Amino acid sequence: LTSVASAGSYCASKAGVVALSETLRLELAPYKIGVSVVCPSFFRTNLAESLGASSAGFKDKLEHLLSQSSLTAEDVAECIYRAVARRQYLVLPHPTGQRAYRLKRFLPNWIYLKMMEKGSARRERKAEELPLAAVDLWLKQTLPHLSGTPVVTQYSGGASNWTYRLRYANDD
C-alpha cells in the first residue's frame, strides 16, 4: 500500500493484487463470501533470493528490509488467521505498515511524499544500470540532430536516483 523506491515493478504487482481484492470483495459480497487482502511489510523470508531482482539496488534494499523485521513468517500467518476469522478486509500485520498506511491515507500527498523521500536511502545506481544504448537510440530517433556519444552525469540528491543528464557534443 506504500511505495518503495527502486521497486516499481514489485509495487505495481502488489497494487494489482489490492485492486483485484477490492473487486472480488464487491462481487462476492452478495454471496456472503469475504475477501481479505494481506499487506505485510517485509519479514524474514527468502524473498530476495526467489525474486532474482534485476536491480542490484533493489536487491540490496530488499535484503536490508527483510533482515530488519521483527516479525517471522509464523507471526504474520497468525495475524492473517485472526483477521480472516474476523472477516477483516485489510490486513496489515506490522505496526510500522499500519502507521505508513494511515499517513499515506490521511496526510496531503505532498507531505507524505516528502516523508518517504527523506526515509529513502540515497544511493547512486551503478552506471551500467542506465540502459544508455537504449536511451541514446531513443533520443536520437526523437531528436535527429543529436550526434556523438553522450556524456552522462547522475544526480543522487534529487527526488529520484534516476535523475540523469545526457550531454551530447552538439546539445544538452
Torsion angle (degrees, nearest 10) of CA 100, 106, 110, 116: 0
Classify each residue of 125-142 as buried b or exposed e, where b means 16 or more C-beta atoms within 10 Å of its C-beta: beeebeeeeeebeeeeee
Calculate mean pLDDT across residues 107-133.
65
Whole-model pTM: value is 0.57
Q: Are 129 and 161 in contact (CB under 8 A)?
A: no
Cα separation, 157 vs 118, whole angstroms: 11
pLDDT digits (tens, 9 = 90+) for 140-166: 888 888 888 888 877 654 444 456 678
Comparison of pLDDT for 25 and 114, the residue scoring more: 25
- More confident position, 58 or 112: 112
